[in-house]
């Protein structure tokens, strides 16, 4: 089964991001916008895992979340991966990474590596993928999209308290991925 660990977004933030995506859909650009129900902040992509490893993964997540305090996160910064010249992903992130979030992601990497889950080679980046670029865009078009997202984000409060972590299964289909909650883990109350 294909799985990942993430932080779910409040419905209000998903709806707000969806409204921005709708406004950007009128642009003649080849961007696949992530469905509102699929918006999340990935902590760790696990890839294909054997079902027999699921309990061990749950125990690791539970052990980490029991000692990690909940935290507040504010989404406010749009960006692209890997860079503006070769953009493939449009995202919303934060310019104020909470220490607890950074430590949570680091602990998941360390403890899951012991369990045989390969470590992520890139440094953790707290972000929500909102769109996938299907063909290279002119830099000027991409800059317009990012500016529109910045303008929309400037007047919104995309802050929320993170109190739990969710383990998802991802099933790929013709209409895109479908996510199923496998388990949820509460963070320690500070």
Active site residue 84: no
Q: How far apart are CA 155 and CA 61, in angstroms?
A: 35
The single residue of 24, 40, 94, 133 carrying the catalytic annotation is: 40
Rg (CA), the chain: 17
- CA-based max dimension of the chain: 49
What one-character DSSP code corresponds to residue 120?
P
Q: What is the DSSP letter of 123?
A: P
Under a CB-based contact definition with an 8 Å cutoff, are residues 48 and 172 in contact? Answer: no
Instruction: Reduce the DSSP state of residue 60 to 3 states and report it.
Output: helix
Q: Which of 30, 12, 14 is nearest to 134 (CA)?
A: 30
CB 90 within 8 A of CB 129: yes
Q: Are 36 and 14 in contact (CB under 8 A)?
A: yes
User: Of 31, 78, 94, 127, which one is the catalytic site residue?
Assistant: 127
> Is 65 annotated in the active site?
no
φ/ψ (deg, to 5) at 69: -75, 150
Q: Which residues are catalytic?
A: 40, 127
């Amino acid at each position: 089964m294909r799985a990942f660990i993430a932080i779910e977004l409040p419905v209000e933030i998903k709806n707000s991001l969806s409204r921005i995506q709708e406004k950007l859909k009128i642009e003649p650009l080849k961007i696949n916008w992530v469905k509102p129900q699929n918006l999340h902040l990935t902590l760790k992509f696990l890839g294909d895992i054997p079902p027999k490893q699921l309990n061990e993964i749950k125990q690791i997540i539970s052990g980490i979340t029991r000692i990690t305090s909940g935290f507040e996160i504010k989404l406010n910064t749009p960006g692209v991966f890997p860079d503006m010249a070769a953009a493939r992903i449009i995202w919303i992130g934060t310019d104020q990474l909470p220490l607890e979030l950074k430590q949570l992601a680091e602990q998941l990497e360390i403890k899951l590596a012991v369990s045989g889950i390969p470590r992520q080679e890139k440094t953790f980046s707290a972000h929500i993928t909102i769109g996938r670029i299907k063909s290279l865009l002119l830099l000027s078009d991409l800059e317009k999209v990012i500016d529109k997202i910045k303008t929309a984000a400037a007047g919104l409060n995309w802050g929320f308290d993170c109190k739990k972590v969710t383990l998802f299964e991802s099933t790929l289909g013709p209409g895109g991925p479908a996510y199923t909650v496998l388990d949820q883990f509460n963070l320690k109350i500070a």
